[in-house]
Amino acid sequence: MLILNCPYCGCYKDETELSAGGEAHLKRFGPGASDAEFEGYLFGRVNPKGVHFERWRCASGCGKWFHAARCTATLEVFGTYKAQTLKPPQAIKDAISAKRPGWTWRDFS
């Protein structure tokens, strides 16, 4: 059972109390964007085996969306952070680097 800590209400939630929202930090493209940009936004996914950034919702708690950094190969959780950001905070990136030196994900490292 995956357990994540909601950065808003502070609760530790089992995965059954959360809803998974897929890949985080997608840049939204709308009208006026090229077909390639729109396709990338809708369907292009990193789907990595290793470090991953995801959106989760504290569904049975405070109801807010937050972000989690996780390893999809081991299910290890590196940390969670609030959603009002375009990139993972340095503390999260440091926590990942401590365990997965040299990691990269999209443009982050």
Does residue 16 belong to the site contacting other proteins (CB under 8 A)? yes
Separation CA 68–CA 50 (nearest Å): 13
Q: Which stretch binds Zn ion (CB under 5 A): 20-28, 30-38, 49-57, 60-68?
A: 60-68
Q: Which position among 5, 26, 33, 40 is part of the footprint of other proteins (CB under 8 A)?
A: 40
Separation CA 57–CA 21 (nearest Å): 7
Does residue 3 belong to the site contacting Zn ion (CB under 5 A)? no
Q: Which position among 28, 31, 32, 35 is part of the footprint of other proteins (CB under 8 A)?
A: 35
Does residue 68 belong to the site contacting Zn ion (CB under 5 A)? no
Q: What one-letter code names the amino acid at 2?
A: L
